[in-house]
Amino acid sequence: MTGPGGSDDSAVARGLPLLFYADGYRFPDVYHTTKFLAPDPIIALEDVEELVLVTSSLEEGRARKESRATSIVNMNEYGAQDLTGRGISGTEFWAAIIKRFLDERGLRRVAVAPYFPVAEADRLREMGIELVVANDLRDRRRTKRPDEIDAIEAAQRATEDAWREGVDALRRSKPRPDRTLELDGAVFTAERLRAIVESALLERGYASDGAICAPGPQAADPHQIGTGPLHAGEPIVMDIFPQHKRTRYWADMTRTVSKGEPPAEIRRIYDVVLRAQDAGIKALRPGATGREVHELVEDIIWQAGYDTMRPGQKKDPSDPTPRGFIHSTGHGVGLEIHEAPWISRSGTTPLVA
């Protein structure tokens, strides 16, 4: 169905040629399609069984070795040197290269990603090229290939290893009389715990920017990174989400730990969450929706006496403060840290194997 402003929810599925003008580092769809990482934008066209890359002389050799393109074209074939000498803007330069490239293939209508640059899009439309925004593009990454599953599993194993190094440090730490933890003669802080985890990931080839190690009350604030001294008996939320520098695949794992016995209420909350998680995992099956699984989890938490974000599941409706289970149940991972399937209220598409 074509939507406002030339968007189409099924453009890629219907086989419209797909044009990229973007880089593979920031835009996972480009890397997923081409298997080529470049810091600067490239032009790529996927059409039936053909995948063509248009690159600079700088990137041409590497593209031939690393990409999955069926053909590589140097942009000089479309007059790049001449255009550069004219002193035109970057927008005019790239629009001209893309237009000549499409003209050579007789294409006047192509699908583009939602993040196709507006300036270049406007110029191409002025030149008579119809660009249809493919809103279904991310769906191509919903189901993973075997090599993608392997990369995600490797990321998860590295995350678990790094988490264990952090937990081992907690085990070695000693509480002072005021319950402040000490490690190797110094106050053990959230910052140091995070450094232990992220150093372990770096040694394994993963980038980790801001792993969460949130102690005490900070643990109740989702995505609070965690600062200050750690204490015995308090919950510490460790949310670790690294990306492999080469494969580009992510993992995302959250665990709650405590040095020593936590308060009884924290233990009760932990047990309720574990019971809800177990039920949610058992409910995952082809044909179910993420929303159904999420609502099952919400019901268990609500029945245990805690608020959720679902209408009608708040003990004091007059209280505007979000309390209790204010998060989604889960999500997929891949070339992005958050991607389909969504195990949340928005997860209305049936799950597939």
Question: What average pLDDT does the chain have?
Answer: 94
pLDDT over threshold 80, residue 8: no
Taking the C-alpha atoms of residue 190 and residue 207, their distance in angstroms, rounded to an integer, is 19
Q: What is the mean pLDDT of residues 139-161?
A: 97
pLDDT digits (tens, 9 = 90+) for 179-190: 999 999 999 999
pLDDT over threshold 70, residue 39: yes
Taking the C-alpha atoms of residue 3 and residue 15, their distance in angstroms, rounded to an integer, is 17
pLDDT band at 136 (very low <50, low <70, confident <90, very high): confident
Question: Chain-centre distance of CA 92, in angstroms?
Answer: 32
Share of the chain above pLDDT 70, in %: 96
* The residue type at 281: I
Q: Which domains does the chain have, with CATH numbers?
A: 2-141 (3.40.350.10), 142-262 (3.90.230.10), 263-353 (3.90.230.10)
Q: What is the mean pLDDT of residues 117-143?
A: 95
pLDDT digits (tens, 9 = 90+) for 65-106: 999 999 999 999 999 988 888 889 999 999 999 999 999 999
Taking the C-alpha atoms of residue 214 and residue 227, their distance in angstroms, rounded to an integer, is 7
Tell me what pLDDT residue 222 has: 87
Share of the chain above pLDDT 90, in %: 89
C-alpha dihedral sign at 307, 311, 312, 318: positive
Which residue in 219, 221, 173 sits closest to 196, CA to CA?
173
- Residue 238: which residues within 8 A CB-CB, separation 6 or more? 163, 166, 193, 197, 211, 212, 213, 254, 255, 256, 257
Count Cβ neighbours within 10 Å for each residue of 26-61 and write b for 16 or more, e otherwise: ebbbbbbbbebbbeebbbbbbbeeebbbbbeeebbe
Length of the chain: 353
Taking the C-alpha atoms of residue 235 and residue 257, their distance in angstroms, rounded to an integer, is 6
C-alpha dihedral sign at 228, 229, 230, 231: negative
What pairs with residue 236 in β-bridges?
A: 215, 257
Tell me what pLDDT residue 49 has: 87
CB atoms inside a 10 Å sphere around CB 93: 18
Decide: 302 and 276 in contact? Cβ < 8 Å: no
pTM for this predicted structure = 0.90
Tell me what pLDDT residue 2 has: 43
Tell me what pLDDT residue 10 has: 58
pLDDT over threshold 80, residue 1: no
Tell me what pLDDT residue 4 has: 40
Sheet holding 186-187, edge to edge: 174-175, 181-183, 186-187
Which residue in 112, 153, 150 sits closest to 134, CA to CA?
112
Tell me what pLDDT residue 84 has: 84
pLDDT digits (tens, 9 = 90+) for 214-273: 999 999 998 899 999 999 999 999 999 999 999 999 999 999 999 999 999 999 999 999
Q: What is the mean pLDDT of residues 309-327?
A: 94
Q: Which two tokens stand for residue 232?
A: 């015995």
pLDDT band at 5 (very low <50, low <70, confident <90, very high): very low
Tell me what pLDDT residue 87 has: 83
Q: For the chain, what is the total number of helices (H) and then of strands (E)?
A: 9, 18
